[in-house]
Amino acid sequence: MCSGLALHVATAQASSTQAPALLIDQGLNGNTVELMWTAAPGASSYDIYRDGIQVASTAATNYADSGLAPLTAYSYQVASVVDGTESGLSTAATAETQAPAETSPPTEPGAITVSSVTPSSVKLTWSKSSDNVKVEGYRILRGGPTDPAGALVYIWTADGFKNTYTPTGLRSGTAYQFGVQALDPDNNLSPIRTVTVTTSTSTDTLPPAAPSSTSVAIKPFSPTRIDLTWGASSSSDVSGYVVLRDGGVAGSVDLPMRTTYSDNGLAPGTTHSYSIEAVDSAGNISVATTPKNGTTLAAGRIRIARGPLAQSTTADSSRVVWWTDLPSQSVVTFGEGSLTTQLVDPVPTLRHVMLIGPLSPGTTYEYQVGDGVVTSGLATVTTAALSGTTFSFAAIGDFGGNSPGELQNAQRINADTTQFIQTVGDNIYPDGRDPDFVNFYSDYDNRLFKQFKAAFLHETFITANGEKEYFGDGTFWGDFSLPNNEEWFSYDWGDAHILVMDTERPYSPGSPQYNFAQSDLAAHQSSKWRIVVFQNPPYSSTTTNSSSVPVQQNVVPLLQQENVQLVLSGNSHNYERSFPLINGQPAQGGITYIVTGAGGNSFNKFAIAEPSWSAFREDTSYEYVRVTVSATSLLLQAVKASDGSVLDTASISAP
- Per DSSP, the three-state class of 10 is strand
- Per DSSP, the three-state class of 239 is strand
Cis peptide before 105 (omega within 30 of 0): no
**Phi-psi sector, 52: left (phi>0), alpha (psi -120 to 50), beta:** left
Tell me how far apart the alpha carbons of residues 403 and 430 are, in angstroms, rounded to a whole number. 12
Is the torsion defined by CA of 337, 339, 340, 341 positive or negative? positive
pLDDT band with cut points at 50, 70 and 90 for residue 497: very high
The amino acid at residue 285 is I
CB atoms within 10 A of CB 262: 19
Tell me how far apart the alpha carbons of residues 23 and 419 are, in angstroms, rounded to a whole number. 24
Identify the DSSP state of 545: T
Q: How far is CA 468 from the centre of its chain?
A: 9
**Percentage of residues in the chain having pLDDT higher than 70:** 98
CB atoms within 10 A of CB 181: 24
Tell me how far apart the alpha carbons of residues 165 and 123 are, in angstroms, rounded to a whole number. 6
Query: What CATH topology corresponds to 112-198?
Result: Immunoglobulin-like (2.60.40)
pLDDT band with cut points at 50, 70 and 90 for residue 2: very low
How do 496-500 and 489-493 pair as beta strands?
A: antiparallel
Are 235 and 168 in contact, with CB atoms under 8 Å apart?
A: no
pLDDT band with cut points at 50, 70 and 90 for residue 17: confident
C-alpha distances out from residue 354 to 60, 207, 347, Å = 10, 52, 12
Are 636 and 593 in contact, with CB atoms under 8 Å apart?
A: no
- Look at domain 8-96 and name its CATH class: mainly beta
Three-class HEC string of 79-124: EEEECCEECCCCCCEEEECCCCCCCCCCCCCCCEEEECCCCCCCEE
pLDDT band with cut points at 50, 70 and 90 for residue 11: low
Identify the DSSP state of 447: I
Burial profile 336-360: b = 16 or more Cβ within 10 angstroms, e = fewer: eeebebebbbbeeeebbbbbbbebe
pLDDT tens, 514-551? Answer: 999 999 999 999 999 999 999 999 999 999 999 999 99
Cis peptide before 538 (omega within 30 of 0): no
Tell me how far apart the alpha carbons of residues 298 and 327 are, in angstroms, rounded to a whole number. 15
Q: Whats the size of the chain, residue-wise?
A: 655
Residue-by-residue DSSP string for 297-314: PPTT---EEEEEEEES--
pLDDT band with cut points at 50, 70 and 90 for residue 65: very high
pLDDT tens, 50-62? Answer: 999 999 999 999 9
Is the torsion defined by CA of 567, 570, 572, 577 positive or negative? positive
CATH code of the region 391-653: 3.60.21.10
Tell me how far apart the alpha carbons of residues 483 and 33 are, in angstroms, rounded to a whole number. 11
Tell me how far apart the alpha carbons of residues 325 and 468 are, in angstroms, rounded to a whole number. 26
pLDDT band with cut points at 50, 70 and 90 for residue 16: low
Tell me how far apart the alpha carbons of residues 394 and 413 are, in angstroms, rounded to a whole number. 7
- On average, the pLDDT of the chain sits at 96
Query: What kind and span of H or E run contains 410?
Result: helix 404-415
φ and ψ of 413, to 5 deg: -65, -40
CA-nearest of 86, 20, 7, 83 to 343 is 20
Architecture, CATH, for domain 213-295? Sandwich (2.60)
User: How many alpha carbons fall within 13 Å on the CB side of residue 508?
Assistant: 3
**What's the pLDDT at 6?**
40
Query: What kind and span of H or E run contains 464?
Result: none
pLDDT band with cut points at 50, 70 and 90 for residue 10: low
Tell me how far apart the alpha carbons of residues 464 and 422 are, in angstroms, rounded to a whole number. 7
For the segment 226-243, the average pLDDT, to the nearest whole number, is: 97
Is the torsion defined by CA of 263, 266, 269, 271 positive or negative? negative
CB atoms within 10 A of CB 150: 9
In the predicted model, is pLDDT for residue 570 greater than 80?
yes
CA-nearest of 205, 178, 206, 203 to 192 is 178
pLDDT tens, 322-369? Answer: 999 999 999 999 999 899 999 999 999 999 999 999 999 999 999 999
Geometric angle at alpha carbon 111, from 110 and 112, rounded to 5°: 115
In the predicted model, is pLDDT for residue 245 greater than 80?
yes
CATH code of the region 304-382: 2.60.40.10
In the predicted model, is pLDDT for residue 196 greater than 90?
yes
Domain spans, the chain: 8-96, 112-198, 213-295, 304-382, 391-653
Three-class HEC string of 15-27: CCCCCCCEEEEEE
- Per DSSP, the three-state class of 519 is helix
Tell me how far apart the alpha carbons of residues 622 and 110 are, in angstroms, rounded to a whole number. 38
What's the pTM value of the predicted model, to 2 decimals? 0.96
φ and ψ of 410, to 5 deg: -60, -40
Residues 6+ apart with CB under 8 A from 553: none
| 213-295 matches 8-96 in CATH topology | yes
Tell me how far apart the alpha carbons of residues 529 and 484 are, in angstroms, rounded to a whole number. 21
pLDDT tens, 464-492? Answer: 999 999 999 999 999 999 999 999 999 99
Identify the DSSP state of 449: I
Identify the DSSP state of 502: -
pLDDT band with cut points at 50, 70 and 90 for residue 9: low
pLDDT tens, 371-422? Answer: 999 999 999 999 999 999 999 999 999 999 999 999 999 999 999 999 999 9
How do 581-582 and 623-629 pair as beta strands?
A: unpaired
CB atoms within 10 A of CB 167: 20
Tell me how far apart the alpha carbons of residues 23 and 500 are, in angstroms, rounded to a whole number. 23
pLDDT tens, 131-162? Answer: 999 999 999 999 999 999 999 999 999 999 99
